Amino acid sequence: MTITVDGISKRFGKFQALNNVSLDIPEGKLTALLGPSGSGKTTLLRIIAGLESADSGQIAFSGQDVTKLHVRDRNIGFVFQHYALFRHMTVAQNIAFGLDSLPRKQRPPKAEIQKRVNELLEMIQLPHLANRFPAQLSGGQKQRVALARSIATRPKILLLDEPFGALDAKVRKDLRRWLRNLHDEFHFTSIFVTHDQEEALELSDQVVVMSQGNVEQVNEPTELYARPDSRFVFDFLGQVNVLSGEVQHSRLNQGNAWVTVPGIEHQGNAQLYLRPHEVRLATAPVAHANLPLRIEAVSLIGSEVRVELRPEGWASEGSDNIWEVGISHAEFNQQRPTRGDLRYAVPEIGHLFTDKDTQPATVNWAEAESLPRVRLIN
């Protein structure tokens, strides 16, 4: 079942939660609605579910307009952020609720409901907790029960509101994998809301980045990370280092820092965005860049070493005025960077935003060290 969102607007008092949002959710895919709080992602999810009504616009499931259809009749699965399990019912009663609520004619016989509940309990690996009450379960268990309850009536659409928001890191990772498998097995059309970029990129087939009631960008996770369309998406998806300055004669300058940007015709203000893994650290400036930085902190935890540096004689954009560079453990063992050392950042790939273009130009210095050039994406 595809979901079509067409020109949805929603206003709460003076607050514009959604601003003419249009979106296509492909069938059988897992789509993430990603954005900071207040970006309208949960409101959009609730409007798709029918828990909230839009001020204007239409929602269609497989081309059929459901805007006026009551949430009760939309046959969707919805998983709430805080599980919303019925606290006075056992786990088994919770899971059976949707089936018990079917109109008499469609309702399966008691024995079959019981069988279905048992199957679902097997699936969520909690058959031994069938007679427990929600208050006796851990967060991860509650979330699995909530999922089982939402798919008991075999909906075609599964909507999840911050499904792993309240869980600790370890449980969250397990449940993510589990949800992915579940999705692949049942072929729902799923949408989940999250503010966690890692979760969105890891779990989904398609990411919708939202900001202030607007859709900023829609793309596959890998594409989205590699080619953000806007400054907002860049900032929101992962750590980024920014050199903001003025371009003169193909060179971006700020203070005593500069980077050559070959082939650029633009003169005036521009910002260069660099991912931590798109920068090397050297002990001396190179031909195409002079970015002196002093090491503030070195963190060895993780698959790569994270080095935090403070600009020396210039300033980074952002309140913390810190650049972050990721280097391999091998590199770390070779160079042994320590706090207080002076290093020079060497950009390999960068993304240049100018005032006149809304989309960035990708600059690749590493591709051909001798002949760098500007390549425009799209």
Residues that bind another protein (CB under 8 A): 49, 51, 71-73, 75-78, 80, 82, 84-89, 97-98, 101-102, 133, 135-136, 149-150, 153
Structure tokens at 281: 């650290």
CB of 374 to another protein, least distance (A): 51
Considering only CA atoms, which of 41, 357, 42 is closest in space to residue 216? 41
CB of 108 to another protein, least distance (A): 14
Residue 253, burial from CB neighbour count under 10 angstroms (0-12, 13-18, 19+): middle
Q: Which is nearer to another protein, 47 or 243 (CB)?
A: 47
CB of 80 to another protein, least distance (A): 5
β partners of residue 21: 8
Q: Are 265 and 361 in contact (CB under 8 A)?
A: no
CB of 345 to another protein, least distance (A): 48
Packing angle, helices 110-123 and 91-100, rounded to 10: 130
Place of tokens 């591709």: 367
CB of 13 to another protein, least distance (A): 10
CB atoms within 10 A of CB 42: 20
- DSSP string computed for 213-228: TEEEEEE-HHHHHHS-
CB of 94 to another protein, least distance (A): 9
CB of 148 to another protein, least distance (A): 12
Q: Which is nearer to another protein, 141 or 197 (CB)?
A: 141
Residues 300 and 139: their CA atoms lie apart, in Å, by 31
Q: Which is nearer to another protein, 133 or 178 (CB)?
A: 133
Q: Which is nearer to another protein, 82 or 339 (CB)?
A: 82
- DSSP string computed for 191-213: EEEES-HHHHHHH-SEEEEEETT
Q: Which is nearer to another protein, 146 or 279 (CB)?
A: 146
Q: Which is nearer to another protein, 82 or 110 (CB)?
A: 82
* CB environment 258-277: b (16+ within 10 A), e (fewer): bbbbeebebeeebbbbbbbb
Q: Which is nearer to another protein, 55 or 223 (CB)?
A: 55
